Structure 1
Amino acid sequence: MKISEVKALTGLTKKALNYYEENGLIKPSVLEENGYRNYSDKDVEVLTQIATLRRFGLSVKEIKEALKSPEALLNVMAEYTKKLTKQINEMEKCKTVLSSCVNDLKSDNTDIKKVTEDMNILSKALEMNQKEREGFMIVEIERIFPGIYGKVLSFCFKSFLTEPMDSREKENAWMDLVKVLDNIPKLNIPKELMDSVDTDEKEWKTIQNRIEENLKNDNYANKAYNIKNTITFDISEEEQRQFELFCTYIKPEGNIEIIGKTLEAVDKSLSVLSSKYRKRKESHLKFQKKFQKKFKEEYFDKEPSRPLTIVHKETMSFVGIHYTKFINKKDFPKFIREFNNIAEEISNVVNRGRIYGFAGVDSLGKDIVPDSIFSFVFAVQVSNIEKVPHDMISFVLPQHEYLFYKHIGDMKNYQKSFDEVFMYKLEEKNYEMDILPSFQIFPSDIRDNDENLEVEMYFPVSKTKKYK
């Protein structure tokens, strides 16, 4: 039986069929001539059972257990019967209360106080039931897209898919949403993440709560247009851990493109299904417009506080330490001092009073700098590379031209100097930024709260092609 026929018979999505096959719940044969799946009657029987059990709210792990024997399936059915009976009893109570209200209102001696009390009971019961209906879409997302895919979708959309599906327009938008999500290319998900879906519920709950909290705080309607705070990148150790985890999940080739296209494709459906999504989208667009205007006024339309020049540097050799964790700028002095103490064992140092800090070091190549989410290198320049101390790296920068700027002030204003460099209109000088690492030169005796700190900044540039 073809996959299209199985989908029609079971109501399952293509991704759900693939997922259940990957998890060993079904074993369709593969046709040699074209590689297509051929589903047996037994496969369809099992899939029908799975589809029903998923509606009971069972996880794939629980379904595997339920399908092991008729006795296990009986226990699941019996448990769900209890749940249904409870729901039926609750609705019967609602019906009884509603009938009582109707009868009291028909009576010649209507007791309004009693009717009001009954209506209050009925209102609370119906409100509870209404909340269940409002959660329908997000529950369906996890049911029809089992496993990691449904989990990720649930995390992304949970804050938005909260409304009842109470119009034909929403029903059509819902069907379009499911169709899009079922046909996007498969994400390349790391095995450790796949394994954690059914086992590490606590971690998943933590991530979900953080996403919901971020969305709650991301109020564009009331957000302040503080440019400096927006472009300053300092993060805590916990934020670093979560960011590294996130990058590990999306880093495999093709994932970012797939995620981007998916978000574009679901935008129209979400705009119909969620008033909250619509309002947030509108607020975001307004915020972006105002932000861009203020960004231009505060940076592009201002001249740097000190002159920038183009300088030439001859070939330079370096020995240093590569850090694969994020380092906040306020912590640079501590790391520089620690490195300066270690640098005593490095021979042929050109100037021991100068410590080089590198950014963009990944452009040196993975044979020199290992692949990592974060890359910070503190180094000293050496006359030639001889013996490299243990746990250090060495590399050579070829002769090149650099955009030079000097920061004078404390570390709090260090970011401002960076911003002034990047706002500099290079194209007016017929230059463009290049792919070599940029670097800064710090004094080796740097202090934490030095208000007269001087840091030299160098950013690699090349003549634009039309002027070469």
Structure 2
Amino acid sequence: MNIKTASEKTGLTKKAIKYYENEGLITPLKKCENNYREYSNDDIIKLNLIGALRALDITIVDIKDVVMGRKSLPETLIDTVKKIDESITYLGKSKLIITSLIEKNLTDYRASGEQIRRLRETLELSRDDKKEFISNTLLRIFPGKFGQLFVSIYAPFLSVTIYNDEKKKIWLRLVDFLDSVDEVVYKNTFLVEQINNSDNDNLDELKKALDTQYKYILDYDENTKDNIMINRQIELARSLKESEELKQKFNKGLEDLKQFMKVVGPIQKGFEEYLCILNEDYKKYKDNEIKMLANVNKTVKDKLGFTAN
């Protein structure tokens, strides 16, 4: 049969049939007398298969492997599904980034390129790389040994697993939030000076104490009386009551801390809101912390007549 008949039988255009022939997918016979192509039934079967596979966006290279017998049709279909899944994942991430940028209502295109690149890169990071990214960013925001201690507070919860679009969206917001925070400049802050001037041994002891505290709070049971925390609060309250000098130092430290928290507080609050969504253990930790402090306050008030606050 001629190319016109082949076109009618397959629904393919003459141009498409000639293209597939040039690609080596079919090899019709040529008549000696006029050099016209003669298409066999086998060519029609191949053309129908080629047309169907092209409609599924399977590449010419993959189709040729099937037609030439280098690869089975099931293998090709399985490989195509994998490629489609990868494309869906890639497009999904692109959609999230674009949505994030639309929400920000960017007007300065000059700053957009760097921001888009950074969002894409951080979204592709592995679980460990995400943890390292957060740690390094916090160290940029809070320089010195204080920053190291600050990271230690959250270190057990920085391994975030992002398994759905909602968490990916929150991750992008966290990245955007951290990027927007400038390096904190410590001004006459006694607490930070003490930490930054401490030696490594003292810093390690503080980190160990934080590690013990996080484990304690994470496993906290509100039905069990919190004797450790209660005893600490009672001891502190009695010490302050008995020593005017200690009370003055304590109040000075509180004022110093309040001033410092005016700067650090909003950063910490924003960061923790995102971390609670990205890490279920951290959400549990914060919930337990609230329950524990409520229990401590109630018990201390019952014993001393005023709360730990």
Task: Give the structure with the larger helix fraction.
Answer: 2
Does the alignment reach a TM-score above 0.5?
no
Please give the TM-score of this superposition, normalised by the length of structure 1: 0.28
**Higher strand proportion (structure 1 or 2):** 1
Q: TM-score, normalised by structure 2?
A: 0.40
Bigger CA radius of gyration? 2
Q: Which has the higher contact order (CA 8 A, sep 6+)?
A: 2
